[in-house]
Amino acid sequence: MLWPVSVPGCSGRCRSRDALARVCPGTLPPCPGPRARSRLPPPRPGAIPPVPINHIWSESHWLPRGGAGSAGYIMDRKRCSLTLFPPFARPGPAMAAALQPLRALSRAALEPRARRLHLSAARGDAVVISGRKLARQIRQEARHEVQQWVAAGNRRPHLSVVLVGENPASHSYVLNKTKAAADVGISSETILRPASISEEELLELIAKLNSDTAVDGLLVQLPLPEHIDERRVCNAVSPHKDVDGFHVLNVGRMCLDQHSMLPATPRGVWEIIQRTGIPTLGRNVVVAGRSKNVGMPIAMLLHTDGSHERPGGDATVTISHRYTPKEQLKQHTIRADIVVAAAGIPNLITADMIKEGAAVIDVGITRVRDPVTAQPRLVGDVDFEGVRKKASYITPVPGGVGPMTVAMLMKNTIIAAKKLLEPRGLEALPA
């Protein structure tokens, strides 16, 4: 006698949600005891949770494979099907061969439905992480937080953006930020200055906004004209209002695993990893890019101690840069569980550089001309179509990290408005 049942997970690689069959009540072997029970959560109706394949679900608990009274079973990884046998009928080779026709029939009956519902999983394609959907979720959280803050009698958070020059990309980015602010209930203003503005004039404007109690968050859109020192400008912004997280005190505290205003893009990458459930503890990570605003902060967030004041990912992180030979980079990425591409080089990461099942986060964004349509389009640092066939997770460009950056900026503005970091001793340095 045998019972076909669903498989909980396939070691996390199979993402099938198709419940193949139900176990008849009372047919499972007795539980081997409370110590052998897994602490995994029970499966939801119609769904298969991502748990190891060496557990099966009894009436009220997960029953580990092996042990006294446990059942034997035949596993078909490709179809996620399992045939469970009572302890007294553990199958030998002859019995397994005899059961092949039954298993073939069950696969044939289930195959059309599985193909229809899980086409990408059948091909082995990666799960495409929608940064837009995650950003909408975060913005909804921010909107609710602002509503509660204002309902408690507090002033509505306010964000000031200083935009210097006529860079079209910068104007587009600032417009997206102010639209997002309006969406979550944050008031904002954009202060335009010509590219000819002197550094001293810009610093005077920043000092004025620092002292304005009506301004909660302040950012100066980068890049700036060549005659202006960006580092001096970033350090001139009050660390309490530094929603970009570029002030040297915020960067230093981040590196010391202390509470600080985290840069929006690295924080967006961190949120993608956390909310998607990509494991980082003890995993190998490669960050391609060492910029002080993106690559370095991402590496810090991923490798630092998860038990510290500002928890990190406890991963083993390798950082590459422009002088890392391509073949050497491949030696690192081919072993990486997570690859974060933030170098600004189109198609830097290709399919042959990624191991099967890796998670790939594409931070790069470059405007190129399409060879077919001759129209400009945005591409990332990753060969998306090639890599998605090997990876387990991948972010697209556009629609991946970009929307998360804007959402995290809104979160930082709320932190600044609530003055959550001021009691922790952040003091501005002289410009």
Segment 227-242 mean pLDDT: 96
Give pLDDT, residue 105: 52
Going across the sheet that includes 3-6, the strands are 3-6, 81-85, 72-76
Return the structure tokens found at 178.
């102010």
What pLDDT digit, counting tens, does each position of 92-139 carry? 565 556 556 555 555 554 444 333 323 333 447 899 999 999 999 999
Task: State residue 356's pLDDT score.
Answer: 96
Q: How far apart are the first and last CA of the chain?
A: 80
Catalytic residues: 177, 221, 244
Q: Is the link from the previous residue into 101 a cis peptide, with omega within 30 of 0?
A: no
Which pLDDT tens digit goes with each residue over 332-371? 999 999 999 999 999 999 999 999 999 999 999 998 888 8
In one-letter notation, the amino acid at residue 189 is E
Sign of CA pseudo-dihedral 151, 152, 155, 160: negative
| For residues 385-412, average pLDDT | 96
Percent share of the chain, pLDDT over 90: 65
pLDDT in tens, 249-258: 999 999 999 9
The mean pLDDT of the chain is 79
CB of 84 closer than 8 Å to CB of 56: yes
Q: Establish whether the linkage from the previous residue to 223 is cis, with ω within 30° of 0.
A: yes
Predicted pLDDT of residue 94 = 58
- Residues near 395 by beta carbon (within 8 Å), at least 6 away in sequence: 128, 129, 131, 272, 360, 361, 362, 401
